[in-house]
Chains A and B, each alone.
Chain A
Amino acid sequence: MLEISHVTKVFFPGTVNEKLALEDINLTVNDGDVICVIGSNGSGKSTLFNMIAGTFPVTSGTIKLKDKDITHAPEYKRAFMIGRIFQDPTKGTSANMSIQDNMNLASSKGMKGLKFSLTKDRKAKFRELLKQIGLEDRMEDNVGLLSGGQRQALTLLMTTLSRPSLMLLDEHTAALDPRNAEIVMDLTKEYIERFNLTAMMVTHNMQFAIDYGNRLIMMDEGHIILDVAGEDKKKLTVQSLVDEFRKIRRKEFDSDEGLLTT
Chain B
Amino acid sequence: MIEGIFVEGLIFSIMVLGILISYRILDFADLTCDGSVATGAAVATMCIVGGLGITAGLVLAFLAGVLCGLVTASIHNKLRIPGLLAGILTMTMLYSVNLRILGNKANVSLVRVDTLYRLFPEAFSFLPQAFASLLGTLIFVLVVKLIMDLFFRTDLGLALGALGGNEQVILSQGMNPATLKLIGVGLSNGLIALSGALLAQYQGFADANLGQGMVVQGLAAIMIGEFLFSSNRISLITLRAILGGIIYKALMFLGRKYGYLIGITPNDFKLLTGILVIISLTVAQTRAMASAKGARKKALERTQSLKEADNA
Contacts and interface: CB of A to CB of B under 8 A. Distances in A.
Contacts of A95: 165-166
A94 B162 CA distance: 5
Interface stretch (B117-125, B168-176, B240-248): B168-176
B153 interface: yes
Interface stretch (A114-122, A189-197, A219-227, A244-252): A114-122
B232 interface: yes
A76 interface: yes
A79 B165 contact: no
Contacts of A96: 161, 164-165, 232
A7 to B, nearest CB: 21
B168 A117 contact: no
A65 to B, nearest CB: 14
A101 B172 contact: no
Given A80-B174, A84-B172, A116 B166 contact: no
Nearest to B168: A91
A93 interface: yes
Interface stretch (A29-37, A104-112, A180-188, A209-217): A104-112
Contacts of A93: 166, 169
Contact of B158 (A79, A86, A105): A105
A92 B172 CA distance: 8
The size bracket of the interface on B is 20 to 34
B158 A112 contact: yes
A109 B155 contact: no
Contacts of A80: 174
B227 interface: no
The size bracket of the interface on A is 20 to 34
A101 B177 contact: no
B292 to A, nearest CB: 13
Contacts of A101: 158, 161-162
Interface in B209-244: 232
B168 A76 contact: no
B265 interface: no
Contacts of A75: 171
The CB with the most chain B CB atoms within 10 A, among A74, A83, A94, A95, is that of: A94
Contact of A97 (B165, B168, B176, B179): B165
Nearest to A101: B158
A86 B166 CA distance: 13
Interface string B178-220: 0100000000000000000000000000000000000000000
A115 B165 contact: no
Nearest to B151: A114
Nearest to A95: B165
Contacts of A116: 153-155
A14 interface: no
B169 A105 contact: yes
B162 A105 contact: yes
A40 interface: no
B159 interface: yes
A92 B173 CA distance: 10
A142 B232 contact: yes
A207 to B, nearest CB: 30
B156 interface: yes
Contact of A91 (B151, B166, B179): B166
Given A83-B172, A113-B155, A116-B154, A76 B162 contact: no
A90 interface: yes
Contacts of A102: 162, 169
A66 interface: no
B175 A117 contact: no
A234 interface: no
Interface in B65-116: none
Nearest to B160: A112
A77 interface: yes
A104 B174 contact: no
Contact of B175 (A92, A104, A111): A111
Contact of A112 (B169, B171, B175, B232): B175
A96 B158 CA distance: 11
The CB with the most chain B CB atoms within 10 A, among A80, A84, A97, A110, is that of: A97
Given A92-B172, A115-B154, 11 more contacts: A76-B174, A77-B174, A92-B168, A95-B165, A96-B232, A97-B162, A97-B165, A111-B179, A113-B156, A114-B155, A116-B153
13 contacts: A74-B176, A86-B168, A91-B169, A94-B162, A96-B164, A96-B165, A97-B161, A97-B232, A104-B158, A105-B173, A111-B176, A112-B154, A116-B153
Interface of A: 74-77, 79-80, 83-84, 86, 90-98, 101-102, 104-106, 109-117, 142, 159
